[in-house]
Structure 1
Amino acid sequence: MKSDVLYIWLYKIAVTFAVVFTCILGYYILLHMLIKGDFDRLITKEEMKDNFITHEKEFADLVAYFDSLSPKDKGQTVWFELKDTECINFFNSNKVTLVVTGYSANVIGGENIELTSPEMDSVLKELKWTKETVAALSLKLKKTKCDLIQTLDETKYPIRIYPNQGGFLPHSYMIFDKAIPDSLISEYGKPISYTTLGKRVVVN
Structure 2
Amino acid sequence: MTLSADLLLHAYASGVFPMAESRDDPDVFWVDPKRRGILPLDGFRISRSLAKRIRRGGYEIAINTDFAGVVTGCADREETWINDEIFDRYAELHDMGFAHSLEVWQDAELIGGVYGVSLGAAFFGESMFSRRTDASKIALAYLVDRLNAGGYILCDTQFITPHLASLGGREIARARYRRILAEALPQSGDFLSPEIPDPQLLLQRRTQTS
Which has the larger share of strand?
A: 2
Whether the TM-score (by the shorter chain) exceeds 0.5 is: no
Flag the structure with larger Rg. 1
- In terms of fraction of residues, the more helix-rich structure is 1
TM norm structure 1: 0.30
